[in-house]
Copies of this chain bind each other. A is one copy, B any other.
Amino acid sequence: MQRGSIHDDTCPSFQGALELVGRRWTGSVLAAALQGAHRFGEFRALIDGISDRLLAQRLKELEAEGLIERTVVPSTPVQVHYGLSGEGRALMAALQPLAQWSVRRAARRTGDPEAEAGDHR
């Protein structure tokens, strides 16, 4: 960002990050990976309501973004593992304050003391 004026176009990295994490299901896929999902079926089981097509698409996108690492395990039959990259792990850590802000905000709006006290991953 330049000093003195704010160009939406001079923050492309931040804007890109916001759009990336704002994409539907992306947060859930990253959260499933953080919870230890490795195989496609494990992601599907953890993420309620996602279709195979969308899950495959999100994993592919996140691999292209360098946030998910895809590993082919040379077993019989061959297995494919997905896991957070170091950058993906750093992103999840960087999102914690925003997640906590959103939970505190929701609690203030509903007056739910449990949500206000709770942590959010």
Contact = CB atoms under 8 A, between A and B. Distances in A.
Interface of A: 1, 4-9, 11-19, 21-22, 24-25, 27-28, 31-32, 35, 45-50, 87, 90-91, 93-106, 108, 120-121
B106 A49 contact: no
The 9 closest A-B pairs by CB, nearest first: A22-B22, A13-B106, A17-B102, A94-B101, A94-B97, A18-B22, A13-B102, A7-B48, A14-B102
A102 B11 CA distance: 9
Given A101-B90, A101-B91, A105-B87, A28 B6 contact: yes
A98 B104 CA distance: 18
22 contacts: A1-B120, A5-B45, A5-B46, A6-B32, A6-B35, A6-B48, A8-B50, A11-B120, A14-B27, A14-B99, A14-B102, A15-B24, A16-B102, A17-B98, A17-B105, A18-B18, A18-B98, A21-B98, A22-B22, A90-B101, A91-B98, A95-B97
A31 B1 contact: yes
Nearest to A2: B48
A48 B5 contact: yes
